[in-house]
Amino acid sequence: MIGIIDYGAGNLHSVVKAITQLGYQIKLITKPSDHDDLIDKLILPGVGNAKVAMNVLNETGLSDYLRTEVAKGTPLLGICLGMQLLLETSEEGDVPCLGFLPGTVPLFGEEAEKVPHMGWNQVKDVQNHFLFQDIPESTDFYFVHSYYAEPRMEQHVIGVTNYGPDFACAIGNKQVMGVQFHPEKSGKYGIQLLDNYCKQGVRQHA
């Protein structure tokens, strides 16, 4: 079962639809008491403002819930804003984030072609990470964002995209990971990425 964190994120329903169509059971989690012990993995979607999002996560107890689940070893995938919230701080509102990965989230600078970065752009898998299994190199994915992830440790950069300079468009490790682009809006290879995440190491329940 895939637990999807519901905190008012704009892309929630698109993510739910994509995961459901892949054949996985889902559970929406709006508060910690919604947790189900059958949940194998968690997804943190996100569209909007980092400060507003963290306020909701903190006020509902979902930030502590996520920290507890990650400490237990539950995998977590952040999407777009959800990926940015995995880092320590965001310049968007100068807000402390979840802190699962060391690093910050700055605003694109003058070297970027245009802000926001919106539309299709190529993603290069730099780690042969399981998220990109069966996805061709330099596949285009769909982006909409003005801030970007800047992990402090190079080993946490999973994928890169060029937009003026290169930036980390996929970050994480084998348990906590995130993508800046929207896989649920990126056609068959976006759906493949979601399937790669959901099927990796899923427990078989009686």
Domain boundaries along the sequence of the chain:
2-199
Contact yes or no for 2/41 (Cβ under 8 A): yes
Token pair recorded at residue 18: 């994509």
Nearest to 58 by CA among 28, 99, 26, 91: 99
Active site residue 182: yes
Residues (pLDDT < 70) of the chain are 10, 201-206
pLDDT of residue 204: 39
Catalytic status, residue 169:
no
Identify the active-site residue in 97, 145, 184, 198.
184
Q: Is 198 a catalytic residue?
A: no
CATH superfamily of 2-199: Class I glutamine amidotransferase (GATase) domain (3.40.50.880)
- Residue 201: per-residue pLDDT: 58
Identify whether the C-beta of residue 36 lies closer than 8 Å to the C-beta of residue 27. Answer: yes
Q: Give the model's pLDDT for residue 18.
A: 96
145, 156, 182, 198: which one is catalytic? Answer: 182
- Sort strands 139-145 and 117-125 into parallel, antiparallel or unpaired: antiparallel
Report how far residue 52's alpha carbon sits from residue 157's, in angstroms, rounded to the nearest whole number: 26
Which of 80, 97, 169, 198 is catalytic? The answer is: 80
The three-class DSSP label of residue 163 is coil
Answer whether 189's CB lies under 8 Å from 139's CB.
yes
